C-alpha cells in the first residue's frame, strides 16, 4: 500500500516512512494536484480535509479523525488500514521516501560519529541524498512505539 499525506499530516508521513511505507508528503494547499498524483501512482490519500471526497471509483481517501499527531499512526492501525507486518521498518529514507541500500560497514567509517560506528553492525545509505542511516538513527523511541502498537492486537 502506498500513501500520499496532505500538509496537515507531516508527522504521520514520517512515521509511515519509518515503518517502511512508500509515503509522499504533499505540502501544497490545492487538493487538485494531490488527487491527480494519487491517481497516477495508485496512492491512498490521507487527509484531515473533510471536503475531500472520492470523485472516481479508483479514488481511495482515508480521513484521519485524530487531532493529535502522536496518535494518528495508531488510528491507521486500529482501523486496519495498515499493519505492522506488511513492510520492513527503517528501510526507507525519511527525507526522500526512497528505499535505502545496505552498505559495507567500512564505508560508514568517518561518515558517522565514531561511537555509532563502533556500536552498530549495519549501515544503510539513501541513493538520493547519500545520508547514512543505522538502526537507532531513525530516532526517538520509534522502536518502543512500534512495540507498544503491536500490543493493540
Ligand atoms: Zn534520502
Separation of 96 CA from ligand 1 center, angstroms?
A: 4
Separation of 128 CA from ligand 1 center, angstroms?
A: 5
Separation of 152 CA from ligand 1 center, angstroms?
A: 31
Q: At what angle do helices 10-19 and 69-78 cross, to 10 degrees?
A: 50
Asked whether the predicted pLDDT for residue 10 surpasses 90, the reply is: yes
Beta bridge partners of 103: 123
Which single residue is written with the C-alpha cell 552498505?
A: 103
Separation of 7 CA from ligand 1 center, angstroms?
A: 20
Residues 7 and 52 sit within 8 Å (Cβ to Cβ): no
Mean predicted lDDT score pLDDT of the chain: 91
Residues 102 and 121 sit within 8 Å (Cβ to Cβ): no
Separation of 138 CA from ligand 1 center, angstroms?
A: 12
Distance CA 58, CA 38 (A): 10
Q: In the prediction, which pLDDT does 89 show?
A: 84
Separation of 25 CA from ligand 1 center, angstroms?
A: 14
Instruction: Read off the pLDDT of residues 42-83 as tens digits, 9 standing for 90 and up.
Output: 999 999 999 999 999 999 999 999 999 989 999 999 999 998
Asked whether the predicted pLDDT for residue 132 surpasses 60, the reply is: yes
Separation of 9 CA from ligand 1 center, angstroms?
A: 19
Separation of 35 CA from ligand 1 center, angstroms?
A: 25
Main-chain dihedrals φ then ψ at residue 9, nearest 5 degrees = -120, 40
Beta strand pairing status for 123-125 and 101-103?
A: antiparallel
The Cβ-side half-sphere exposure at 20, using a 13 Å CA radius, reads 12
Residues 54 and 60 sit within 8 Å (Cβ to Cβ): yes
**pTM listed for this prediction:** 0.85
Separation of 126 CA from ligand 1 center, angstroms?
A: 5
H or E stretch at 61: strand 61-63
Residues 93 and 17 sit within 8 Å (Cβ to Cβ): yes
Amino acid at each position: 500500500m502506498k500513501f500520499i499525506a496532505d500538509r496537515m499530516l507531516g508527522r504521520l508521513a514520517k512515521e509511515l516512512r519509518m515503518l517502511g511505507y512508500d509515503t509522499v508528503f504533499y505540502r501544497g494547499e490545492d487538493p487538485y494536484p494531490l488527487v491527480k498524483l494519487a491517481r497516477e501512482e495508485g496512492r491512498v490519500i490521507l487527509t484531515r480535509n473533510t471536503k475531500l471526497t472520492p470523485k472516481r471509483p479508483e479514488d481511495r481517501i482515508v480521513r484521519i479523525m485524530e487531532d493529535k499527531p502522536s496518535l494518528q499512526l495508531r488510528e491507521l492501525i486500529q482501523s486496519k488500514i495498515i499493519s505492522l507486518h506488511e513492510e520492513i521498518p527503517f528501510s526507507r529514507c525519511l527525507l526522500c521516501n526512497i528505499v535505502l541500500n545496505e552498505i559495507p560497514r567500512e564505508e560508514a567509517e568517518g561518515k558517522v560519529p565514531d561511537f555509532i560506528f563502533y556500536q552498530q553492525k549495519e549501515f544503510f545509505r539513501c541513493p538520493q541524498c547519500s545520508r547514512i542511516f543505522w538502526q537507532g538513527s531513525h530516532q526517538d523511541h520509534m522502536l518502543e512505539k512500534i512495540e507498544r502498537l503491536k500490543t493493540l492486537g
